[in-house]
Structure 1
Amino acid sequence: MKKYCCLLLLCLVVLSCKKEAVITPETVKKHLYTLSDDAMEGRKAGTPGIEKAAVYIENEFKRIGLTTFDGLQNYRQTFTFTNRRTDAQITSSNIIGVLEGKRKKDEYVIVSAHYDHLGIRKKEGQLDSIYNGANDDASGVTGVLALAEYFKEKGDNERSILFVAFTAEEMGLIGSTHFGKGIDASKFVAGINLEMIGKTSSFGPNTAWLTGFDRSDFGTIVQKNLEDTGYSLHPDPYKKFNLFFRSDNASLARLGVPSHTFSATPIDIDKDYHQASDEAETLDITVITETIKAVAKGTESIINGTDTPTRVIIEEKDK
């Protein structure tokens, strides 16, 4: 009897010592500053700079312990496309990692952000020519990496989660469109896209906004899950900018997937948007960290299979 009591005690100690799933400012800062460093040369699709970012994301997926997607031999979904502005042929890759679900592994939730930006642009009289894209969208990719590690450590996702860093968003949602052509959209339950989450939103501290809020009940599910957390989610206040169709969520939404973008930046007055001044030092690590935590908590019931958002509404005029 004493032997079994000791074994039970040992098991309890092991369980109590299990690493808790957390999202820390230190992790957020590491990813953000690495991805928006000058060494990445603005991460323009088809350049050596974005290749450095791709390798970093791949290595993080491997460290975290994600698997590859749908027959791919590694984390890269590589393809060639034509640059619409220059007619040049560009080869680039979406970076995809999978955390397989438990009881509902054939149902997918996608967590995404684009890792490309504008590259190097030399302008007369401008001292800084590297468009680092810290907020747009190294902050979002930071969220993808942090959430991948968080859910891997939790280990209780009933649905499978795809963590995707899309390429060539800045060239017209090229990477996410290519991804969408190769999937069975009916198996995709929700899309969680992160874009520009590095600044305090117009709704105040501990708030974010969601594009296409009224096109499915995804947003209301998140709001319900965030009750009593001190963090709140609001509908996109910038309707005139048509933001629902300007980020990678749109590529899946057009297939019927309830895919929406979280943001926490007052884009109407953001002086750093698409400027060389969009650097890590202009962002608030606490804002990014708390927003990522809120996304994790807000989407928890979708990932664990309790809630299933309604399919997204795309009107004829939107096609």
Structure 2
Amino acid sequence: MSESSNKPPIHLSPGQWSFTRWKTIGQLEALEVHHPLFEATVFLQGAHLTRFTPKDEPDWLWLSPEARFEPGRAIRGGIPICWPWFGDPARNAPEVRKRLKKQSAHGFGRTALWKLEDVSESAHEVEISLSLDANDDFSNVWAGHALALLTFSFSVRGCQLALTTTNLDSDPLAYSQALHTYLPTIDITRSRVLGLGHSHYIDTLKDWEYCNQDGPVYFEGETDRIYECGEPLTVVTPSTSRKLIAVGSDSTVVWNPGPDKAKNLSDFPNSAWQTMLCVETANAASDYHVLNKGQSHTLGVLIGRG
């Protein structure tokens, strides 16, 4: 999504960056981007993007006002990285489950400390790359060895995430994952997702029953669905329209906790379900991936104007 320019991006070391700065937020280290065209915040814990704001626009992402920035605690909002498994371990394929040693949801990637690999800046774009070497340090929760590389690309056009997984183990690696994107709305009841019509989905609230989608997805209370679709989507709210273009995905999760579940969520105000929704670019349910030794796969999403 790079803008055209006569000059290539410049790779600089800390202290030489023009637009990117280290910042401690709560108890966590983050990279803050203050570019003339946009701003963004990326935490090293979880490789977690919590803010993207083009110039003179509100935040494109939703972050809970009760979010807490503490070691080992998942941040509520933004784009959490669910990796190397997504959702309830028991609902994953047997090939994914056999590597799991704990039954916690959404994997360890969202609370692990990622390593800064690179910052690249230009007059039009900033790219930040972070990596996670899932080696024996995680042997108490997962059996495997893989490298995850996540690159964020920010420009006036939007933001892009590309998560590449490489299997470093000698045995085949089965895994599931999601880019768990939280988006804001001023009224969930007047918001909808376009592009999922005529696709099949699993309704996790109806004992994982298979259903067919007819037309746009509207929100009437709690919603938790895994769509068998990786096509471009448009999220329309009363004040915004966002296009989500997925790469390497044949499944999309649509989620809103509704009023009852919201009361039981951590770091989430009781009424916040009315002002957010999640559309997650995923490899979930039957859309999990298997990599042989040395093989890689990239899951990505471009969030732009609708």
* TM-score of the superposed pair, with normalisation by structure 2: 0.31
Comparing both structures, which one devotes a greater share of its residues to strand? 2
Comparing both structures, which one devotes a greater share of its residues to helix? 1
* TM-score of the superposed pair, with normalisation by structure 1: 0.30
Larger Rg: 1
Task: For CA contacts below 8 A with separation 6 or more, give which structure has more relative contact order.
Answer: 1
